[in-house]
């Protein structure tokens, strides 16, 4: 469900696009009236037509977000000369003068601001919206392209920034989501409608904190993996918790208070690695100590974003 903040942002965008479309219609009306001295009815008709065409063109461009972002990045490079671009986003392959503060703490309908207070907030790529965890994964992916190229990959809740990386590296992935219609497959991760041993690799970043049963999800992910297949997962971890904290509640405010976000139903704790291994995996965590400095910082933006990414190998029991 969209929050009021998202709805208001969409409304602002719609008003902005409509207002911009009025500009060419207004100019056309002025020319038709002043220069060509056409009849008022004809001027209104032609101006309305130009408004509709301008609106359609803008809406098509709006959908082509990659194109718009490339144009914006070109302008960004003009304003930020190469020497000042000391940061780098490995997801969208762009050098940056800094990461952005997305002001999540202002969106109190979705987040608990207290969870962001003590964390550094300028951690989001302004072009592909990668957070530290996606940049850590992209950095790992750069070193494991051979494995990725020879794997059949199923990606749950695909993230735009990582999809940029996969597309740029020409690695095919099948995407899955229960709600997003753009995904290749509509799948419930707790009851995956696929045969056993279907994929070489599954990816599910920040999914397990949203679903009804993380145990069922882990069991299903293991089931659809081929023997020795790889699962990549990450989820919010509260470093102060010994184990997972979860509670079913239909109240969004309660979920924000308990877990920091309106659609989280749990937060994991220190025993996350044990939880995954007991589901039939051997587990390693991506070592961020060799992540290049320009990709940093590696924590945040919330205090439960420790950004541990688990690379798990299916083991046979």
> Which residues contact Zn ion by CB under 5 A?
89, 91-92, 125, 127-128, 130
Residue 125 tokens read as 């790529």
Q: How many CB atoms lie within 10 A of CB 69?
A: 17
Question: Least Å distance between CB 164 and Zn ion?
Answer: 7
Question: Least Å distance between CB 130 and Zn ion?
Answer: 5
d(C-alpha 57, C-alpha 218), whole Å: 45
Based on CB atoms, which residue is closest to Zn ion, 76 or 277?
A: 76
Question: Least Å distance between CB 6 and Zn ion?
Answer: 21
Question: Least Å distance between CB 109 and Zn ion?
Answer: 26
Based on CB atoms, which residue is closest to Zn ion, 43 or 125?
A: 125
Based on CB atoms, which residue is closest to Zn ion, 123 or 125?
A: 125
Question: Least Å distance between CB 173 and Zn ion?
Answer: 18
Based on CB atoms, which residue is closest to Zn ion, 127 or 166?
A: 127
d(C-alpha 225, C-alpha 314), whole Å: 7
Question: Least Å distance between CB 102 and Zn ion?
Answer: 13
Asked if the peptide bond before residue 146 counts as cis, ω within 30 degrees of 0, the response is no
Question: Least Å distance between CB 137 and Zn ion?
Answer: 13
Based on CB atoms, which residue is closest to Zn ion, 27 or 72?
A: 72
Question: Least Å distance between CB 142 and Zn ion?
Answer: 14
Based on CB atoms, which residue is closest to Zn ion, 129 or 185?
A: 129
Based on CB atoms, which residue is closest to Zn ion, 127 or 214?
A: 127
Based on CB atoms, which residue is closest to Zn ion, 7 or 167?
A: 167
d(C-alpha 278, C-alpha 276), whole Å: 5
């Amino acid at each position: 469900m969209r929050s009021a903040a998202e709805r208001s942002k969409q409304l602002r965008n719609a008003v902005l696009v409509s207002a911009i479309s009025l500009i060419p219609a207004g100019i056309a009306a002025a020319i038709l009236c002043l220069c060509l001295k056409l009849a008022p009815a004809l001027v209104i008709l032609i101006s309305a037509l130009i408004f509709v065409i301008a609106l359609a063109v803008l809406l098509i461009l709006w959908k082509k977000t990659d194109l718009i972002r490339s144009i914006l990045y070109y302008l960004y490079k003009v304003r930020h000369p190469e020497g000042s671009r000391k940061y780098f986003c490995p997801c969208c392959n762009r050098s940056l003068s800094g990461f952005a503060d997305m002001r999540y703490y202002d969106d109190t309908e979705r987040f608990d601001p207290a969870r962001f207070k003590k964390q550094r907030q300028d951690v989001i790529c302004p072009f592909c919206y990668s957070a530290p965890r996606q940049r850590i994964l992209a950095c790992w992916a750069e070193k494991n392209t051979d494995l990725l190229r020879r794997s059949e990959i199923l990606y749950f809740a695909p993230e735009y920034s990582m999809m940029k990386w996969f597309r740029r590296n020409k690695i095919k992935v099948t995407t899955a989501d229960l709600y997003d219609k753009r995904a290749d497959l509509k799948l419930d991760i707790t009851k995956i409608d696929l045969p056993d041993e279907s994929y070489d690799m599954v990816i599910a970043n920040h999914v397990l904190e949203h679903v009804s049963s993380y145990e069922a999800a882990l069991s299903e992910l293991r089931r659809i993996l081929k023997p020795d297949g790889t699962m990549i997962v990450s989820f919010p971890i509260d470093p102060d918790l010994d184990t997972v904290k979860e509670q079913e509640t239909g109240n969004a405010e309660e979920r924000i208070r308990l877990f920091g976000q309106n659609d989280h139903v749990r937060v994991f704790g220190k025993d996350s690695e044990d939880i995954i291994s007991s589901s039939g995996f051997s587990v390693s965590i991506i070592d961020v100590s060799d992540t290049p400095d320009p990709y940093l910082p590696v924590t945040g933006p919330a205090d439960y974003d420790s950004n541990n990414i688990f690379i798990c190998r299916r083991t046979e029991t």
